[in-house]
Amino acid sequence: MGILDGKRGVIFGVANDRSIAWAISRALHDAGAELAFTYAGEILERRVRPLAEGIGATLILPCDVTKEEEIDRVFETLRKEWGYLDILIHAVAYATKEDLSNPYVQTSREGFHLALDVSTYSLVVLSRQAAPLMEGRAGSILTMTYVGSEKVIPNYNVMGVAKAALEASVRYLAYDLGPKGIRVNAISAGPIKTLAASGIAGFKEMLHYSSERAPLKRNIDAEEVGRTALYLVSDMASAVTGEIVHVDAGYNIMGM
């Protein structure tokens, strides 16, 4: 018996087998959840489909979160095939390479809009679509953030601003959806070697700096994030909502 037996969840944001979203998927699957997956474009489909099929997923759907019609089709399929939803994992974020490498003051208008649309507004629209499928089922929505939302992290730039907006959205969504019994939380993970992280200049130095200064004197791995996600979407966290849970070996508590 798994703690998620009988639960169904949809995962947005798996990039490859090293991504945080995949580690979360494995943790939820191992606990008994039935999962559906989305991908954005053919390149990601070639990575996501074998992983999803490897754990028995039958719903593997295209979804560019900037396109309302694709989001609509995902949730119409979930409604038709499943009829309900218990878990939504939002691990979607994007900013252009230029807007990550240039100083924040040089962020382009288009780049700012794109980062906030993909990384922040997508949580709002996905939550709105998921809510009717979660009513009466103690549903759980979980997203991913980073300490760059709270403090300046060089080269994180517009993504830090997008993550700050994402964390505020978690609180407002938790307030809106709480009366329906739906919980909304975020995990603020420490730096992990992922495809997304590779786009941040100086990432190796970030890993070294974090491990030196974190109370546990080490970096974290994706499986540790997966286990925390399992707790947050399960009944063990039935009274937890609107929270930003740090999984970073304690780095976020440090001043000097």
Catalytic positions = 146, 156
Q: How far is the C-alpha of 153 from the C-alpha of 54, rounded, in Å?
A: 37
Query: Quick check: 75 and 82 in contact, CB under 8 A?
Result: no
Q: How far is the C-alpha of 199 from the C-alpha of 160, rounded, in Å?
A: 14
Q: How far is the C-alpha of 33 from the C-alpha of 40, rounded, in Å?
A: 23
